[in-house]
Amino acid sequence: MQTGSYQGLKITNCQKVRVTDALVVEAPLQININKTAYTVVMRTPDNDEELVRGLLYAEDIYKRTAGFTFEILQEEDKIPTIINVQIPKEALGKGYLNKRTLLSVSSCGICGKKELKDLQVAGEKLISNTYFSTEIVRAMFSNMHLLQKTFKASGGSHAAAIFDKNQELLTLKEDIGRHNAVDKTVGTLLLKSELKKAKYLLVSGRVSYEIVIKAFIAKIPVIIAVSACSSLAVDFAKEFGICLIGFTREQKMTIYSNPEFIKNVQNV
């Protein structure tokens, strides 16, 4: 299963309609090596054995073609959640001895956790009195785009911007990694003791689980993305009380969770 169906409110030129979108499934996979938890990666299910083989090869953990045993230890809704790879100790490479060097760590906020239980996030559901219009969303995005200097020069960077309750820009940062850009904006406000002012997080790419977690921990109640949202991002946004909006382009946007924050759309 690589996609799942999720309902949303699609707004085009101020016209609202309920839609059902196919979102890419994002799910955690705990990888055990020789029955010991090694790491957790986020992935789209299917081809898990190929994923693990390629990952261990790239990380210089196991590069041989034989002697590799792959076993599914736990499933949820027929999706593997914990697997074990059995590798002779003498065949383990330097990457295993060095523990975590995963290439994916710069692009995945939870890659590197050892066990599924490490993904749990404590905290109460956000209670927000932030209400806004679709026109305000477009205005904030226009502001962000104007200030993306690195992207204009290179076409190769992501941006994250945080706005206050009056839609005034608090900070904007760019980075080659989506999650790095978000971390930079939150870090900036922490250093300035202004994180409590944060109400809107805008991101230039897609939203997956870890960006929702970052917003929740920072107590930012609204996430607005120019691109798609993953299935797990929507699930957690609903649980955390976050208004999550994707595909915000030109006169369009799709609201996936907590539409009551947006004026005149909750009853559609």
Binding site feature residues: 247-252
- Exactly one of 108, 111, 229, 243 is catalytic; name it: 108
Could you tell me which of 225, 221, 229 has the C-alpha nearest to residue 198? 221
Find where tokens 């909006």 sit.
Answer: 245
- Note if 108 is an active site residue: yes
Q: Which two tokens stand for residue 30?
A: 């705990």
Q: Which two tokens stand for residue 153?
A: 């020069």
Contacts for 265 with CB less than 8 Å, ≥ 6 apart: 9, 11, 16, 134, 255, 259
Distance CA 22, CA 6 (A): 6
Distance CA 126, CA 128 (A): 6
List strand residue ranges (DSSP E) for the chain, in order: 3-12, 15-24, 27-33, 36-43, 69-76, 79-86, 158-163, 169-175, 200-203, 222-225, 243-249, 252-257
Could you tell me which of 198, 122, 116 has the C-alpha nearest to residue 164? 198
Find where tokens 């957790």 sit.
Answer: 40
Catalytic residue ranges: 108
